[in-house]
Structure 1
Amino acid sequence: MLKSALTTRLCHLDFFFYLTMSLANLASMAALLGATAASPAFYPHELTERAGISLWPAQSFVTADFHPPTFVVTKNGEELEQGLIFITPALENVGNSLSSLGSLQATGTTIVTDDGQLVWQGPHSSVVEVEASTDQVFNITTNLMVQELDGEPILTHWIGYGSDTGRGYGSVAVYNTSYSQIYTVCPELDIVYNNASFPSAPTCFVDLHESFVTPSGSMIISVANITSFDLSPINGPTEGWVYDSQFYEVDIKTNEILFRWSSVESGIPITYTKLKLGEGTAGNGTRDSPFDWFHVNAISSAGDGYLVNSRHCWTTWMLDNSGTIQWKIEGNNTEGLSNFTLPTDGLFGAFNPLENGNTFMGWGSIAKLKKFGPNGNNDVRLAMQFGGKDLVQSYRAYRQSWNATPIANPTAVGRNSTAWMSWNGATDHTAWNIYAGTVKTDLSLVGTVQRDNMFEVSYPLPSDAQFLQVAAYRESTWLRNSSVVTVGPFSHPVDVGDEGDECDA
């Protein structure tokens, strides 16, 4: 969980960092970021990726149609505290790169171990064709993380329409430790958006940048609203249009709106933007191409107030509980606190201080993750990478504790005298018992295999086995059975029912 309310997050092309403990940490954090970002490692498959053969080497399984990345993992031998890695692998250019990837099952909500072994894969991306739009629009998932609600761990992620211009309209899914979706954050909002950008009208309007659960159990969400605005102070039209970056604090369980803040209504002048009208994806200030002058990256609660960060103003503001600005940290060093500016190549993706004094970092558009010890940038305890620069990314990345027992049962496949087994999302099972026989109601234990932190394991079956069932164990404690399936040359399991009680040993 968060160790301090002073939390600033600027992610993906956003430069994500935490102010944890005190503003003095800015100096050491800047040194760490500067040192590690200067010479990013190249992935061994860089050349084949650039040739369009493959965006990333992918894992594949018999028991599930998942294709998460194959990670290149380096460790220095120092002991790592328990924890899992939460990412949302995605393509930098979904439409142009989909044929190279081969399966969108490789994208989306993903939990892996420090060895790059899959733990859970949830909702994934899909391309949406929109004839009237020049944007590439796609259903995406992002910002997967563990948070806390009512004293219990929850898993949250954003899902909805996204585009290449860095905005989204969707909702936030909230899961318990059995991966049951217990809430959907989708407040009723009066939002103006570009109709031509989406195949159908969005039903939820939460932006992809923020889904922060506060200590009081509410959620802070970001929203992008199109509104008219005088752009003459920046040499634009008097009757111009902008994206008004807003944030709302909402009740997770009821979607009641508790607080609203608007960048346009805040009194921050339009001249504060560091972006030029019509530059890149900034927009030219028309109704069809609003100027993205503020671009909220991250918001969090801070005491009874809020911290809000703007990517295009290079500034973080502290607000009181009425939304009034109290102070700011600015990117041009006007207050002597920092000298950060927009990372134009998007190298920075996550700065995640851990409770033992270590730090976990992700690089956003470079699919690279590192865990540093307390001795700074030369103390790299763990390094992981799964793709090349400008090709793939994980919008945000976290290393957190998570213990889960899925509501869904384990999956078993019997194929060519081999039993294959997995349990998507389970974190605590250590071994499998394998039961087989010629009659589905009379199966016998034929072996036990250790999980060894693998997503999927296999075990040889007797040559006459016709039916198969597996049981997951934590040491000697039975957890759950799979269904009974037939054994044969099938590409998918044929379920013949009878989950039953604990299999007889």
Structure 2
Amino acid sequence: MVRFPFLLLAVLSLVLRATTEDADTWTGWPFFTFHTGDWQPPRLALGDVGDNVDPGRIFMSVRNSNEEVGTAPTIYDNNGDMVWQGPNEKTMNFKQQRLHGQDVITFWDGETGVLGYGYGSVHILDTSYRELYTITLEDHDLVTPTGVPRESYIDVHEHLITPHNTIIVSAINITQADLTAVPGGGKDMWVIVPLFYEIDIPTNQVLFKWDAQEHTDEIPLSKSKESFWGGETQAQPWDGYHMNSVHPMKDGYLVGIRFLWGVYYVSNKDGSVLWALTGDEDEGDFEMDNIRFSWQHDARAYHESDTSVLVTLFNNAATRSHEDGESTALAVNLDLENMTASPLYNLNDPTDPLISRTQGSFQFIDEPGASHMFVGYGSTPLIKEYDQDGNVVFTAQYGGRHAQCYRAFKFPWHATPYWDPEIAVEHQDNSTTDVYMSWNGATDYDSWALYSVPSVNSSVENGIMLATQERTGFESHISFQNVDVKYIVADARQGEQILRSSPIVPFRP
């Protein structure tokens, strides 16, 4: 994969897009195509890549800003090559997690574009990509903007497996509230109220439910920073909260509410607020040491003790109608004895100031404070990796100006698919035949061995080796000249070990 200086990425994106405009695709973005399957992941245009980039793999679900279309969950390597692409559905929040001590991948899929929210389910897959569980939420007390019930009410914004092997999911309810304390509001106005649930994974049984409307004394809508609009009808409720993250803690949950510029520690006993960290210096429970944030996403907690906790978040500092400054990735040390907050990181790229008006994520790839950090810029189609000193070591742009990714991550994912590799044979002329091989999702193989076999019912043991080929990106290629065989098969190998064989296919028409 060719790498380009970052200042050329915009030009490169236009060039790539121009080469694909005539293709039959819903995006019009620069995208990969392959001979061995119909995958079409967005291309990653790489900036300068440092020598010490974390070796993990990049997890993304790219979609169009009009929210009518989206791509399948996709894994990339540091060269920008696709590793795996999943089902071609509207997916979001794709990541690696741990369940019962084992690595899994999870993603949300469903109906998007519902007032900035959605209705769907969460899929949990193992390291062979078999689906272990499908998480759904049935709560018939929830009201939708249209009044039409949904099969599952899980929202796009959050799903997170807890250390005790349950899952937290978010949802919304459309209801009426007294908004006379809100400038422009009135009585009996329609609002979007956020909720979250902790669910038992095998049974889908709800173990805990938190409803923001039950805690308006501690989290009042009168403190919302979002301008009032709508609210007169059920179909156009006001979104004054916009909860977008929930993270488990020892005695409860860390809840991020974007339009209040607030991160709240709520109790797992009665849902009450134990403390609040806010970007507004006149609110919250902490004395802030040179810290300010607004319109944030993806609040997380690390290294929690009785006396301190590390909180991270993506500081958008902007919405579609507001702009407070540059978007940054913020890590804050909270002293719970003295109730002070001090910055550990406030990451930005001084050569590339960015504003992300919606979405975004901030991840410690490994141990907080001692590992690289991965930042997804949400509605701005860029991802960056920073080292421990806050230096940029990796940058990539994806899609075109309408592309966005709710959250982007990097994980040490290793997988062996339960399906076979793919092989495709294409004849250029009477003497030249091109063969292409891929194994969607396989992470740990390094070469291919190709064999001729006498029939479709043959085995590799009955075959004659024609060639070996080093793995190159997602799809490897080898060209044969004047080879006359009936059938061909490819083995994916790690060293000399055969991992799995492709189907046997005709070599000649």
Note the aligned Cα RMSD (angstroms). 2.4
Are residues 1:386 and 2:410 paired? Answer: no
Where in structure 2 are the equivalents of 1:10-21 lying within 5 Å?
none
Indicate yes or no: 2:407 matched with 1:459. no
User: How far off is 1:197 after superposition?
Assistant: 8.8
| Structure 1 residue 351 corresponds to structure 2 residue 362 | yes
Aligned to 2:294: 341
Q: 1:307 is matched with which residue?
A: 254
Q: Which amino acid aligns with 2:479?
A: P
Distance change in 2, residues 1:285/1:108 (3 Å): farther
Task: List gaps (5 residues or longer) in structure 2.
Answer: 1-5, 22-26, 296-317, 321-355, 428-432
Return closer, same or farther for 1:317/1:40 CA change in 2, 3 Å cut-off. farther
Partner of 1:297: 244
Residue 374 (str. 1) matches residue 410 (str. 2): no
Question: C-alpha displacement at 1:372, in angstroms?
Answer: 1.2
Structure-2 change in CA distance of 1:455 and 1:241 (3 Å): same
1:163 matched to 2:113? The reply is yes
TM-score scaled by length of structure 2:
0.77
Q: CA shift at 1:333, angstroms? A: 1.5
Give the aligned partner of residue 271 of structure 1: 222
* 1:449-482: CA deviation from partner (whole Å, max 9, x where unpaired): 1114x11111224532331211111111111111
Aligned to 1:133: none
Aligned runs of 1:61-140 on 2, under 5 Å? 61-95=34-68, 107-125=71-89, 140=90
Q: 1:168 to 1:40 in 2, by over 3 A?
A: farther
Q: Which amino acid in 2 is paired with 1:273?
A: S
Cα 1:488–1:165 shift into 2, 3 Å: farther
- Report the secondary structure of 1:190's partner residue: coil
Tell me the CA shift for residue 435 of structure 1.
Answer: 1.3
Q: Which residue pairs with 1:241 in the alignment?
A: 190
Counterpart selection for 2:452 from 422, 436, 439: 436
CA separation of 1:165/1:45 partners in 2, compared to 1, >3 Å: closer, same or farther? farther
Give the match's secondary structure for 1:209.
coil
Would the aligned equivalents of 1:191 and 1:226 in 2 still touch at CA under 8 Å?
no
Question: Which of the residues 15, 38, 43 maps onto 2:10?
Answer: 43
- The answer to whether the aligner puts 1:56 opposite 2:29 as a matched pair is yes
Question: Do the aligned partners of 2:13 and 2:30 also contact (CA within 8 Å) in 1?
Answer: no
3-state secondary structure, aligned to 1:448: strand
CA shift digits 1:139-171 (9 cap, x unpaired): x10111000010000100000101063100001
Q: Supply the distance in 1 between the matched residues of 2:8 and 2:211 (Cα, whole angstroms).
A: 40
The answer to whether the aligner puts 1:325 opposite 2:276 as a matched pair is no
Partner in structure 2 of residue 222 of structure 1: 170
Aligned to 2:374: 360
Contact 2:435 2:479 in 1 (8 A): yes
Structure 1 gap segments, 5+ residues each: 1-38, 99-103, 126-139, 490-505
| TM-superposed deviation, 1:41 | 8.1
Match among 412, 430, 449 for residue 401 of structure 1: 412
| Deviation for aligned residue 1:55 | 4.3
Q: What SS does the aligned partner of 1:44 have?
A: helix
TM-score, L = length of structure 1? 0.78
Larger relative strand fraction? 2
Shift of the 49–262 alpha-carbon distance from structure 1 to 2, 3 Å rule, reads farther
What is the CA distance between 1:69 and its match in structure 2?
1.8
Distance 1:303 1:216 in 2: 11
Residue type of the alignment partner of 1:443: G
In structure 2, do the counterparts of structure 1 residues 275 and 71 end up closer, same or farther at CA, with 3 Å as the change threshold? same
Q: Deviations over 1:409-438 (max 9, x none)?
A: 111112212221111100001111111245
Match of 2:205 among 247, 256, 279: 256
Q: 1:218 to 1:229 in 2, by over 3 A?
A: same
8 Å contact kept, 1:433–1:447 = yes
| Alpha-carbon distance in 1 for matches of 2:145, 2:176 | 16
Distance 1:286 1:153, change over 3 A: same
Cα distance in 2 for residues equivalent to 1:225 and 1:196? 12
What amino acid maps onto 1:365 in structure 2? S
Letter in 2 for 1:172: V
Q: Relative to 1, partners in 2 of residues 1:189 and 1:479: Cα closer, same or farther, differing over 3 Å?
A: same
1:252-307 deviation per Cα after TM superposition (whole angstroms, max 9, x unaligned): 111111100011111322212111221xxxx4342121111111110010112110
Higher relative contact order (CA 8 A, sep 6+): 1
Q: Is the Cα contact below 8 Å between 1:191 and 1:205 reproduced in 2? A: no
Letter of the 1:91 partner, please give it.
N
The structural deviation recorded for 1:483 is 1.3
Query: Distance in 2 between the 1:153 and 1:215 partners?
Result: 13
Asked if 2 retains the 8 angstrom alpha-carbon contact of 1:241 and 1:290, the reply is: yes
**SS of 2:51's equivalent?**
coil
Aligned length: 418
Query: CA 1:432–1:47 in structure 2 vs 1: closer, same or farther (change >3 Å)?
Result: closer
Superposed CA deviations along residues 367-401 of structure 1, whole A, max 9, x for unmatched, are: 1111111222xx22111112344x10111000111
Preserved contact between residue 145 and residue 174 of structure 2 (Cα < 8 Å): no
Distance 1:94 1:215 in 2: 32
- Is the CA contact 2:376–2:384 (under 8 Å) kept in the aligned structure 1? yes
Distance 1:252 1:364 in 2: 28
> Aligned letter for 1:124?
N
Identity of aligned residues (%): 32
More displaced stretch, 441-450 vs 298-307:
441-450
Q: Secondary structure at the match of 1:264?
A: helix
Residues 296, 289 of structure 1: CA spacing in aligned structure 2 closer, same or farther, 3 A cutoff?
Answer: same
2:9–2:45 contact (8 Å) kept in structure 1: no
**Residue in 2 aligned with 1:498?**
none
Secondary structure of residue in 2 paired with 1:254:
coil
Partners of 2:437 and 2:503 lie apart in 1 by: 11
